[in-house]
Amino acid sequence: MKSMRTLVLVGLAILTPLSALAAPKVVYVRCGKLIFDAEKPPIANAGVVITDGKVTAVGADVTAPAGAEEIDLSSYTVMPGLIDAHTHIWSGAFGSTPSSGLALLRGTKAVSYALSSGIVAMRVLGTSDFIDVSLHEAIDEGTIPGPHMVPAAHAISIIGGHGDFFSQPVQFPLTDYYTPLNGFINSPDDAEKAVHLQIKYGAKVIKVLASGGVLSPLDSPTAEQVSPEELRVIVEQAHMDHLKVAAHAENLMTILAALHAGVDSIEHGSELNAETIDYMKSHHVTLVPTVYIVDNLMQNGEKMRMPSYVLKKANEVGVKQLASYKLALQSGVYIAAGSDQSYEPGQGTGRDEVMSEVKFGMSPQQALVTATKHGAELLGIDDLLGTVAVGKEGDLVAVEGDPYSDIRVLENVRAVVYQGRTIPPANRK
């Protein structure tokens, strides 16, 4: 028979959380130069203390606590983990239609690649079969490695619009596919249902394909696809649930309709003008210009063996999109970095978007702000990410050289620290 003392001790162990019984994990990161906030000058010879995944001390005078694990990045420039505000999830070659199971397995590889690339948060703006929601939940519970994720589930589209890649003949039964659950709408009522269903099954942001696009086979970027009334319903329903709305909008009329409906971000924004820019600035609407993908398609689309319709549309819209980006930059529109990449291992990432922003007119410091502080605000996680500060998550990226003077040092990341743990870095070269 157990003694009373033993029973009391067992009872305390049952009632006490395991985290309280274990000693805290303390990590000390020694930095050669620390960009703790991309809007401010860096700190030389700084230290960062990360306790149980959160920053507990940072600065030039911070030394290693007794017994702390040490990570020596004194040869590198260290900055906050990067945020990609417009992504998708790789599930195979362009145009392939894998099963949901295979797509999900490939997706686990994509999110691991994202994290190894220094991407500590990503907003996924459209997948099939709620794959992004599944990945988000698996990452959060620790089943698979990956960055913080804000999933949109199915992007909302019209039939035959930018979200329609269905290639079966007309004889194929379509009623079970073209539904609000799958993101397809034909009316304001459908739009309301589509928002509710995405939220029910895990969406944390709503994506609406308000215009046609480049990669879709059936439409044109010049097409206005979701009516102003449908847009208003989508925004109203999402905002009632405290979710933001991201609008894929390529042409001027669609951009105007999306802005007047109250969307929170314009994705691509290929035909901005003075009116749209003034509206975006006065209503704090973020532009996610996705300059890398359009530039890459224009420069390398043939090598990538993209279909002829993609090459034609990319070249037509690309010139407009880059000019629109430069106008937005000159006018002071709030910009967040989004690569529009699917994170196929070894391919483009948010780092490429940052470098492309600089290629087309941003200063390196401005570009780093778009991929840290601005991205964190747009995703609604600026209390957690975006800067290296006490109380925020211990996420760091180290590069060799000074990204403020040469943004191309992002091509070769030397170290990634996520929640105080080192992650093997991934580079394309």
Retrieve residue 351's tokens: 């780092």
Amino acid 97: pLDDT:
86
Mean pLDDT of 156-167: 89
Mean pLDDT of 29-46: 97
Cα separation, 242 vs 204, whole angstroms: 9
What average pLDDT does the chain have?
93
Q: For 82-379, CATH number? A: 3.20.20.140
User: Is the pLDDT confidence value at 2 over 80?
Assistant: no
CATH 3.20.20.140 range(s) for the chain read 82-379
Judged by average pLDDT, the poorest of 12-16, 127-131, 260-264, 367-371 is 12-16
Asked if residue 47 lies in contact with residue 32, where contact means CB atoms within 8 angstroms, the answer is no
User: Is the pLDDT confidence value at 169 over 80?
Assistant: no
Retrieve residue 53's tokens: 């995944």
Q: Is 268 left (phi over 0), alpha (psi -120 to 50) or beta?
A: left
Count of alpha carbons within 13 Å of 321, Cβ hemisphere only? 31
The DSSP line for 157-188 is: EETTSTT------TTS--TTTSSGGGTEESSH
CATH 2.30.40.10 range(s) for the chain read 21-80+390-423
Asked if residue 310 lies in contact with residue 215, where contact means CB atoms within 8 angstroms, the answer is yes
190-241 pLDDT tens trace? 999 999 999 999 999 999 999 999 988 889 999 999 999 999 999 999 999 9
Q: What is this structure's pTM?
A: 0.93
Amino acid 23: pLDDT:
86
Amino acid 95: pLDDT:
78
376-398 pLDDT tens trace? 999 999 999 999 999 999 999 99
Cα separation, 229 vs 40, whole angstroms: 43
Q: Give the single-character DSSP code of 242.
A: T
User: Is the pLDDT confidence value at 7 over 50?
Assistant: no
Cα separation, 115 vs 149, whole angstroms: 11
Please choose, from the candidates 375, 173, 215, the residue with its C-alpha nearest in 3D space to the C-alpha of residue 289. 375
Q: What is the homologous superfamily of the domain 21-80+390-423 according to CATH?
A: Urease, subunit C, domain 1 (2.30.40.10)
C-alpha distances out from residue 283 to 228, 243, 253, 286, 373, Å: 18, 17, 18, 9, 19
